[in-house]
Amino acid sequence: MPSHAGPAHPADPSITEHRTADATLTVTVDGSPLAGQEVVVAQRGHKFLFGCIGFDFIPLANGELSAEEQAGPGGVTGSLGEASAAQAEHLAELWFDVFNFATLPFYWGRFETVRGRPDTERLRKTARWFADRGVPVKGHPLAWHTVTADWLMDLPNAEIAREQAARIRREVGGFAGLVDMWDVINEVVIMPIFDKYDNGITRVCREIGRIPMVRMVFDAAREANPNATLLLNDFDMSAAYECLIEGVLEAGIKIDALGLQSHMHQGYWGEERTLATIDRFARYGLPIHFTETTLVSGHIMPADIEDLNDYQIPEWPSTPEGEARQADEIVRHYKTLLSHPSVEAMTYWGMSDGGWLGAPGGFVRLDGTRKPSYDALHSLVKGEWWLPPTTMATDDQGRVRFNGFLGEYEVTAAGRTAAFRLDAPGEAAAAVAL
Amino acid sequence: MPSHAGPAHPADPSITEHRTADATLTVTVDGSPLAGQEVVVAQRGHKFLFGCIGFDFIPLANGELSAEEQAGPGGVTGSLGEASAAQAEHLAELWFDVFNFATLPFYWGRFETVRGRPDTERLRKTARWFADRGVPVKGHPLAWHTVTADWLMDLPNAEIAREQAARIRREVGGFAGLVDMWDVINEVVIMPIFDKYDNGITRVCREIGRIPMVRMVFDAAREANPNATLLLNDFDMSAAYECLIEGVLEAGIKIDALGLQSHMHQGYWGEERTLATIDRFARYGLPIHFTETTLVSGHIMPADIEDLNDYQIPEWPSTPEGEARQADEIVRHYKTLLSHPSVEAMTYWGMSDGGWLGAPGGFVRLDGTRKPSYDALHSLVKGEWWLPPTTMATDDQGRVRFNGFLGEYEVTAAGRTAAFRLDAPGEAAAAVAL
């Protein structure tokens, strides 16, 4: 274990088992083994998808921010939309130093507020901005009863369904190659019985049923981009989601990964519950993505709130005790997820405070400073789970051996550099020609 | 409305709409209309299935009870198995005066405690005893992870599955004509994740999945008795059961009726929740059976008990206040169910106190006396919802008109009697030849 490892956690051995390879790297130069020489091996990327939403960076990616800082009263800047380019660049720097996977917003009600005028170009620029920085993008979500287009309610159900499928083909087809992963449909468990307000998607789902709804949206997405990774996503971790998944799979609908939300505004789940939850959904043999995770660094939302959206308070401050707890829980949660071999991705729901519900759920405070949770996560992703440039001596057959996290690597010797990957846990042989 | 009607309830108009017919009965004698004569019309039976479990009557139906009373200490007799035939006959008299539909126990773990030695004959005698009294019988349940046969755990999963299907074919085929309605499978929502104790059925369901499990047991039952009415039954009234049902129906499995349990040991649901629940499950266009209903006449089980089976107390007495509350809730619950056109049956879970969990959930106290709830239910089933022998005068075309609950009727005139049925709500024409 690297010397910068933090305190031991019961999950550590499983993380080593499922997330690292015992690599034997053979280095050749001009066809001959580079025997008995020093080489420098360095990790360049993680295979595991350490994700975060990238909503905040749409203005930056689109050049919509001013050059100078626009401080509000007391020097505190407001939402990022009003922030300066410099502030956004600072946040981006922090973002890219820990994350390698972005989720961008395609909520229909915001993406196409006025029928026929989708916000395609801004999203395309943002997706390209991430792609240019080596970060793959997922679109979220293509079908959902919340934040859906209000104008659907003027249409009969059959036309709503046609519009839904057409919108999916448009986005998935139009962004193919740039966005190849989608939360296709969100929260189907409650979709047909959602009763907080009328909306077109609930109407259709109630009429045709959950499984035909899932089939319709997955068929549209699959047709538009056969290479895309398509997710079913839900917050309901009960047997209801299991029953839905079993019905969908039994109906022959191909799902590429199961999305599990974990907004923990009401408190960290703990290792036991988290692992039990993963186990229940891992039974289907599909990759698990933790799609939406939040851990707050302020007070915990009361347990009697059933729909988190019902908790609206004027101010929800981040506190020193809350920040210490959040940092601890971040480490425990990431370690727990990486200890289970089915989990392939984890998306955190917001770099900065003041996002959804105004919760202090970010890694960065409203004033742009890092919380302990940021440093804790960084010390995992770029510390305990990362191979920094390391000098090793090759043996007489040009080989070096090391244990490293799965992902992309480089080896450098005598002024030349070559890349290789560690793709599967356990013993791994790699060869590079410098 | 008959003069013996109780206090008005908001459900009453819907009950009249969905459960009664405005009948025009034409009476002929020897081919001619019986014009201007007095006839007596009397209801003989209800179309609605007013059910109750008939477990208590197995000893009586099998002649296992002694002729004299066997009182225990203090004059209190113990379970009905120890009671005298006279006591059991008294209970049966009360039973048949309100109920027209019986559920008998086919729990595998009790029905076939020793592999190959099923308790077929005692159950057959009991089913015939009910049939002889004009009461159809439902068997409960054919597949369940609770009270299942312990010896299954000695078998590999594939053999457990074969035994399960074979046991279903044996019971459903063997009892065909005598028992033509079955709760085929019970509580599938939690079946594969049930973790209180190991059992063969959970093992199989976890391996093959919920929907293949449902398909297997329904296929076996359907094959053994194509005329049987086959139910899916669950206690989980959440979206989980909806998702299960949608998956099962989408998979092409034919379900004849949906069973909803309503053990209300933790308090009466109330009209609003009950109707909302029925509405959610009525969406599938299938008849709804309330399969297991309990309302206690003692204190209410604390709300924090998640699995009712976890509440085991030495004594759970029936109290005067509790009995008054129970009587009121019985009327409200039955009225609510009959007000919804999708509900075709309601089975109460136990005539006598001291059944499941020792709860005071019966209509009859431990000492054999009737509670107010019995009289309240009787005053509905044989009072407010019943046409007693009623003298009517035919018009010049031999017709009488009356409003009556759906079910079987007789008309008598000049010493002759003929039967007719009212089968559908609304305007109904019937004709009898005396």
Instruction: With residue B428 as reference, give the H or E element that holds it.
Output: strand B426-433
Instruction: With residue A138 as reference, give the H or E element that holds it.
Output: strand A137-140
Distance from CA of A11 to the nearest CA of B (A): 23
Domain of B399: which CATH number?
2.60.40.10
Residue B420 forms beta bridges with which residues? Answer: B409
Asked, for residue A99, whether it belongs to a domain, the answer is: yes
Domain termination site, one of A337, A360, A381? A381
Contact B250 A193 (CB under 8 A): no
Range 283-312 of A in CB contact (< 8 A) with B: 283
Instruction: With residue A45 as reference, give the H or E element that holds it.
Output: strand A38-46
Q: Of A193, A211, A238, which has the smallest distance from its Cβ to B247's Cβ?
A: A211
* Closest of B155, B171, B147, B179 to residue B220, by C-alpha: B171
B138 and B41 belong to one structural domain: no
Using CB atoms within 10 A of its CB, is residue A234 exposed (0-12), middle (13-18) or buried (19+)? buried
Distance from CA of B181 to the nearest CA of A (A): 26
Answer yes or no: are the C-beta atoms of B15 and B6 closer than 8 Å. Answer: no
DSSP A380: I
Contacts A246 to B, Cβ<8 Å: 209-211, 244, 247
**Would you give the distance in Å from CA B199 to the centre of its chain?**
28
Distance from C-alpha of A32 to C-alpha of A398, rounded to nearest angstrom: 8
Distance from C-alpha of A153 to C-alpha of A198, rounded to nearest angstrom: 8
* Closest of A189, A167, A195 to residue A107, by C-alpha: A167
Contact A243 B210 (CB under 8 A): yes
Contact B210 A238 (CB under 8 A): no
Tracing tokens 């299991």 back to the chain, one arrives at A242
Distance from C-alpha of B50 to C-alpha of B45, rounded to nearest angstrom: 10
Task: Count Cβ atoms below 10 Å from residue B348 Cβ, excluding itself.
Answer: 26
Answer yes or no: are the C-beta atoms of B175 and B127 closer than 8 Å. Answer: yes
Distance from C-alpha of B317 to C-alpha of B339, rounded to nearest angstrom: 32
Which pLDDT score is estimated for A334? 98
Concatenate the DSSP letters of all residues of A100-137 into one string: -EEEEE--HHHHTSSTT---HHHHHHHHHHHHHTT--E
Give me the half-sphere count of Cα atoms (radius 13 Å) on the Cβ side of residue A218.
Answer: 22
Q: Which of B145, B246, B278 to mutate to test the interface with A (most CBs of A within 10 A)?
A: B246
Q: Of B193, B239, B240, which has the smallest distance from its Cβ to A280's Cβ?
A: B193
Domain termination site, one of A364, A381, A398? A381
Task: Count Cβ atoms below 10 Å from residue A66 Cβ, excluding itself.
Answer: 11
Q: For B209, name the nearest residue in chain A, comparing CA atoms only.
A: A246
Contacts B216 to A, Cβ<8 Å: none
B266 and B186 belong to one structural domain: yes
Rg of chain A, C-alpha, whole Å: 23
Contact B246 A246 (CB under 8 A): no
pLDDT tens digits, chain B, 434 residues: what are they? 444 567 899 999 999 999 999 999 999 999 999 999 999 999 999 999 999 999 999 999 999 998 654 444 444 444 444 568 999 999 999 999 999 999 999 999 999 999 999 999 999 999 999 999 999 999 999 999 999 999 999 999 999 999 999 999 999 999 999 999 999 999 999 999 999 999 999 999 999 999 999 999 999 999 999 999 999 999 999 999 999 999 999 999 999 999 999 999 999 999 999 999 999 999 999 999 999 999 999 999 999 998 898 998 999 999 999 999 999 999 999 999 999 999 999 999 999 998 888 999 999 999 999 999 999 999 999 999 999 999 999 999 999 999 999 999 999 998 999 999 999 999 999 999 99
Q: What would the mean pLDDT of A134-160 be, rounded to a whole number?
A: 98
**A90: helix, strand or coil:** helix
Give the pairing of strands B20-29 and B399-405: antiparallel
Contacts B250 to A, Cβ<8 Å: 209, 211-212, 247, 250-251
Residue A3 confidence (pLDDT) above 70: no
Asked, for residue A5, whether it belongs to a domain, the answer is: no
Q: For B242, name the nearest residue in chain A, comparing CA atoms only.
A: A240
Distance from C-alpha of A304 to C-alpha of B392, rounded to nearest angstrom: 60
Task: Please report, to the nearest 10 degrees, the dihedral formed by the alpha carbons of residues A330, A332, A334, A337 taken in order.
Answer: -140
Distance from CA of A193 to the nearest CA of B (A): 8
Q: Of A190, A242, A247, which has the smallest distance from its Cβ to B246's Cβ?
A: A247
Which pLDDT score is estimated for A79? 47
Distance from CA of B10 to the nearest CA of A (A): 24
Q: What would the mean pLDDT of A136-146 be, rounded to a whole number?
A: 98
Q: What would the mean pLDDT of A135-158 be, rounded to a whole number?
A: 98
* Number of residues written out for chain B: 434
Using CB atoms within 10 A of its CB, is residue A183 exposed (0-12), middle (13-18) or buried (19+)? buried
- Show the CA angle centred on residue B108, arms to residues B106 and B113, nearest 5°: 120
Concatenate the DSSP letters of all residues of A202-223 into one string: HHHHHHH-HHHHHHHHHHHHHH
Task: Count Cβ atoms below 10 Å from residue A314 Cβ, excluding itself.
Answer: 5
Q: What would the mean pLDDT of A283-308 be, rounded to a whole number?
A: 95
**Would you give the distance in Å from CA B189 to the centre of its chain?**
22
Tracing tokens 């030849």 back to the chain, one arrives at B433
* Number of residues written out for chain A: 434
Contacts A280 to B, Cβ<8 Å: 193
Which pLDDT score is estimated for A7? 85
Contacts A241 to B, Cβ<8 Å: 243
Of A165-169, A215-219, B312-316, least confident by mean pLDDT is B312-316
Using CB atoms within 10 A of its CB, is residue B1 exposed (0-12), middle (13-18) or buried (19+)? exposed
Q: What would the mean pLDDT of A85-109 be, rounded to a whole number?
A: 96
Contact B193 A244 (CB under 8 A): no
Domain termination site, one of A358, A381, A404? A381
Contact A210 B280 (CB under 8 A): no
Distance from C-alpha of A27 to C-alpha of A392, rounded to nearest angstrom: 12
Instruction: Using a CB–CB cutoff of 8 Å, tell me whether A240 touches chain B.
Output: yes
Contacts B212 to A, Cβ<8 Å: 250
Which pLDDT score is estimated for B73? 41
**Would you give the distance in Å from CA B56 to the centre of its chain?**
14
Asked, for residue B258, whether it belongs to a domain, the answer is: yes
Answer yes or no: are the C-beta atoms of B116 and B80 closer than 8 Å. Answer: no
Domain of A364: which CATH number?
3.20.20.80
Q: In this structure, what token pair is assigned to residue B157? A: 């999963």
A408 and A352 belong to one structural domain: no
DSSP B37: -
Task: Count Cβ atoms below 10 Å from residue A180 Cβ, excluding itself.
Answer: 17
- Cα dist. A349→A292, B42, B126 in Å? 5, 69, 61
Answer yes or no: are the C-beta atoms of A402 and A387 closer than 8 Å. Answer: yes
A38 and A53 belong to one structural domain: no
Tracing tokens 């085991």 back to the chain, one arrives at B312
- Sheet with B407-413: strands ordered across: B390-393, B38-46, B407-413, B416-422
Instruction: Using a CB–CB cutoff of 8 Å, tell me whether B132 touches chain A.
Output: no
Which pLDDT score is estimated for A81? 45
| B314 Cβ neighbours under 8 A, 6+ residues apart | none
Distance from C-alpha of A380 to C-alpha of A338, rounded to nearest angstrom: 11
Give the pairing of strands B49-53 and B101-105: parallel
Asked, for residue B1, whether it belongs to a domain, the answer is: no
Contacts B239 to A, Cβ<8 Å: 189-190, 193, 236, 240
Answer yes or no: are the C-beta atoms of B379 and B400 closer than 8 Å. Answer: no
Residue A264 forms beta bridges with which residues? Answer: A295
Instruction: Using a CB–CB cutoff of 8 Å, tell me whether A276 touches chain B.
Output: no
Asked, for residue A4, whether it belongs to a domain, the answer is: no
Which pLDDT score is estimated for A80? 45
Asked, for residue B224, whether it belongs to a domain, the answer is: yes
Contact A239 B240 (CB under 8 A): yes
Q: Of A189, A206, A212, which has the smallest distance from its Cβ to B243's Cβ?
A: A189
Distance from C-alpha of A382 to C-alpha of B9, rounded to nearest angstrom: 68
Distance from CA of B290 to the nearest CA of A (A): 21
Instruction: Using a CB–CB cutoff of 8 Å, tell me whether A341 touches chain B.
Output: no
Which pLDDT score is estimated for A1? 40
Q: How many domains does chain A have?
A: 2
Which pLDDT score is estimated for B75? 40
B303 and B282 belong to one structural domain: yes
Q: Which of B208, B210, B215, B250 to mutate to test the interface with A (most CBs of A within 10 A)?
A: B250
Which pLDDT score is estimated for A66? 81
Give the pairing of strands A20-29 and A32-33: antiparallel
B238 and B297 belong to one structural domain: yes
Range 253-272 of A in CB contact (< 8 A) with B: none
Contacts A218 to B, Cβ<8 Å: none
Distance from C-alpha of A45 to C-alpha of B239, rounded to nearest angstrom: 41
Contact B210 A244 (CB under 8 A): no
Which pLDDT score is estimated for A4? 55
Distance from C-alpha of B239 to C-alpha of B243, rounded to nearest angstrom: 6
User: How many residue contacts between A and B have a Cβ separation below 8 Å?
Assistant: 70
Q: Catalogue the E-assigned strands of A235-310.
A: 257-264, 288-295
**B39: helix, strand or coil:** strand
Instruction: Using a CB–CB cutoff of 8 Å, tell me whether B276 touches chain A.
Output: no
A266 and A299 belong to one structural domain: yes
Q: Of A193, A212, A283, which has the smallest distance from its Cβ to B239's Cβ?
A: A193
Concatenate the DSSP letters of all residues of A48-67 into one string: SEEEEE-GGGHHHHTT-S-S
DSSP A427: E
Work out whether the CA dihedral B167, B170, B175, B176 comes out positive or negative: positive
Residue A203 confidence (pLDDT) above 80: yes
Which pLDDT score is estimated for B414? 84
ipTM for the complex?
A: 0.88
Contact A246 B209 (CB under 8 A): yes
Distance from C-alpha of B279 to C-alpha of A177, rounded to nearest angstrom: 45
Distance from C-alpha of A309 to C-alpha of B266, rounded to nearest angstrom: 29
Asked, for residue B55, whether it belongs to a domain, the answer is: yes
Q: What would the mean pLDDT of A71-81 be, rounded to a whole number?
A: 43
B96 and B17 belong to one structural domain: no
B290 and B357 belong to one structural domain: yes
Mean pLDDT of chain A: 94
Which pLDDT score is estimated for A427? 97
B215 and B181 belong to one structural domain: yes
Q: Of A243, A251, A283, which has the smallest distance from its Cβ to B244's Cβ?
A: A243
Asked, for residue A288, whether it belongs to a domain, the answer is: yes
Residue type, B81: G
Residue A253's domain spans which residues? 48-381
Instruction: Using a CB–CB cutoff of 8 Å, tell me whether A428 touches chain B.
Output: no
**Would you give the distance in Å from CA A404 to the centre of its chain?**
22
Tracing tokens 């295979």 back to the chain, one arrives at A47
Distance from C-alpha of B233 to C-alpha of B293, rounded to nearest angstrom: 13
Instruction: Using a CB–CB cutoff of 8 Å, tell me whether B344 touches chain A.
Output: no
A33 and A151 belong to one structural domain: no
| B51 Cβ neighbours under 8 A, 6+ residues apart | B99, B100, B101, B102, B103, B138, B345, B346, B347, B348
B375 and B393 belong to one structural domain: no
Contact A248 B251 (CB under 8 A): no
Contacts B240 to A, Cβ<8 Å: 238-240, 242-243
Q: For A284, name the nearest residue in chain B, comparing CA atoms only.
A: B209
Q: What would the mean pLDDT of A280-296 be, rounded to a whole number?
A: 97
DSSP A78: -
| B159 Cβ neighbours under 8 A, 6+ residues apart | none
Tracing tokens 């009787």 back to the chain, one arrives at B378
Residue type, B395: D
Answer yes or no: are the C-beta atoms of A391 and A39 closer than 8 Å. Answer: yes
Residue A76 confidence (pLDDT) above 60: no
User: How many helices (H) and strands (E) are present in chain B, helices listed first?
Assistant: 12, 16
